[in-house]
Amino acid sequence: MEYNREYFKGKTAAVTGGASGVGNALCEELLLSGVTALTILDFNPENLAAQTTRLTEQYPGIVQGILCDVRVETEVKAALDKAASFGKGRLDLLINCAGAAFACKFTEEPGGIVPGHPFISEVGDNTSWENAFALNFYGALYGCRAAIPKMIEQGGGQIVNIISGIAFAPMAYQSQYGATKAALLALSLSLRAEYAHYGILISAATPGTTATAIFKSADVPPDAQSPTQSATRILKGITQNTRLILGDDEDTSGAITNFGPDGVARSLDQVFSSLARSRKEGNTSFTGYDEPVVSEADQPSITFINALKTATDDEIIVKKTDAYLKTREKTVFCPDTYKGKNAVVTGGASGIGLALCETLLDCGAKKVVLADINEKNLTEQTNRLEALYPGKVSGFITDTSDEASVKHLIQTASDSFDGTFDLLVNCAGLGRMGLFTETPDTQTMIKNNSWLTVETQASWERLFAVNFYGPLYGCRAALPIMVRQGSGKIVNIFSGTAFLGEPFQSVYCATKAALNLFTLCLRYEYFDTAVQICSASPGLVNTPIHAGMLTGGGNLTPREAAEGILAGAANNDRVIMPAPMEHATAIYAYHPIMGAGLDHFVNATADKRRTGSAVQY
């Protein structure tokens, strides 16, 4: 694939993970295109020395290699300082390519680990989760945090974060990989909107299926691209400032399809469950799945999505989407579904969580456990509901950021259920808006916007602890119980901001995107159990969470959102979206034709928020 090499002539660049695979191919192509200074950052000293020596011989004086562990922020900052110095004070392009694929079981249920198995030879503990995020997510975040102030000072620049198609194509036994790459995609799109004002162009890019060492023991697909082919496609996207650069046709199809509604979702369930079955049997190829069987009732949604694949105009996409969503059948809420059921709801003392508890009790649930960190709210709501539904309500003070607290909740609740643990809804979460880094106008913006603050590493870790790890801990504690009993449902609540990448919400978007892909990966990892795992995006709902995000309220009441979530869970919907606009957002978010329109929308939102209004435009 040809690209405009002149675009890179005279520029300075840095590439993390640049000593092997796609990163190395990007370095070679950039040098061929005429960059005047190239810094290669890599963790492997042997590879780094070899590639730096080889490229320096071909391009004397314009290549330097720096040993760097991207998991360590001080190392990333020091390396990029050196890169800018090497570029005579400029850093025009940063490509965050360092990363690794991760595969493991989420829990030892069902069946335990299988030594030597390419996917299930180990269980992912907290240390491995932290390492996956450190390498695949925080490494790029540190790069952005170090490069953006330099680029603002020099009047502009460009950053590209290398993700993977798994960011929107969940795979069994790769919940760590999926979550980290989805988080990086959301971060990239959020920062793209936040920093367009300063002339900084930020994109996410998938390499496509590429024959590199990332496959490790896996069979390389016969149609895999070479690293050079992937690099040229990425560089073409860079020259065009593409919002989401899709590395091959499969990624393009996946980006359009993988959050489709109705029959599309049911077809995807068949495909990814089939792939999960193949993986469980030890098959490492990407071709071992059965074609989905599509019913007549599901055909309209398939036809609709296929039409979007060939659409060349964003207005046509919007019209087709609007027409389909107006005619689709809404999932009917049937209260009897939850009669006699036992449930735990985190964040159950306010907002959507409280509405879920109230709705379940109104449906005749046998017992509902409210879990919340706010003791005052929890006591008030537990007492109120217990008076209305005697013997059916319990309240547990729970800090979902603390695994021991969550584990105690799940085990105590399970022990109290005289039957089965039927439903867990992980609803607890924090909303947040803030600046990713300080800028020359930071203090003015904070003065004019009381809701703004500068995000710190502590705030990133706090939001991940509550919004992502809290549900993870809940799943880890509940899944073995549900698998043993042979039934159960888990619903994890995320947000449509995970798709769009809202400006000044980078931390919130990243945590919710990670949660969505994590949930869907688990859905397929547990495909052969009777446990159903769903992801749910309620849409804009008028709840207390908006006090932190200031998005101006919403278009659903908490009760409407709760009924929509419970209807979707009863139907075992892959991604539950009570609000039609959430479906539209998911369809538009990664469609390549929609890029310019989405940029216009989120950039306008950024401009409004920058001047004091926190609503969407």
222-228: long-range contacts at Cβ-Cβ below 8 A with a sequence spacing of 24 or more?
A: 226/25, 227/21, 227/22, 227/24, 227/25, 228/25, 228/28, 228/29
Sign of CA dihedral 596, 538, 550, 501: negative
The catalytically annotated residue of 508, 524, 588, 590 is 508
Give the DSSP H or E segment for 134.
none
**CA atoms of 7 and 21, how far apart (whole Å):** 23
State in Å, rounded, how far the first CA of the chain is from the last one: 37
Structure tokens given for 51:
């590639």
* Residue owning tokens 């919403």: 554
Nearest CA to 21 out of 220, 240, 286, 201 is that of 220
Enumerate helices (H) and strands (E) in the chain, giving the number of each: 23, 14
Beta pairing, strands 342-346 & 244-245: unpaired
Q: Which residues pair with 578 in a beta bridge?
A: none
**CA atoms of 106 and 531, how far apart (whole Å):** 14
**Has 142 been annotated as catalytic?**
no
**CA atoms of 574 and 484, how far apart (whole Å):** 23
**CA atoms of 455 and 505, how far apart (whole Å):** 10
**CA atoms of 152 and 554, how far apart (whole Å):** 35
CB atoms within 10 A of CB 410: 27
**CA atoms of 597 and 421, how far apart (whole Å):** 45
- DSSP line for 166-226: GGTS--TT-HHHHHHHHHHHHHHHHHHHHHGGGTEEEEEE---SB-SGGGTTSPPPTTPBP
Nearest CA to 545 out of 590, 511, 575 is that of 511
Q: Are 564 and 576 in contact (CB under 8 A)?
A: yes
CB atoms within 10 A of CB 441: 15
Q: Are 576 and 568 in contact (CB under 8 A)?
A: yes
Q: How far is CA 175 from the centre of its chain?
A: 11
Catalytic residue positions?
A: 508
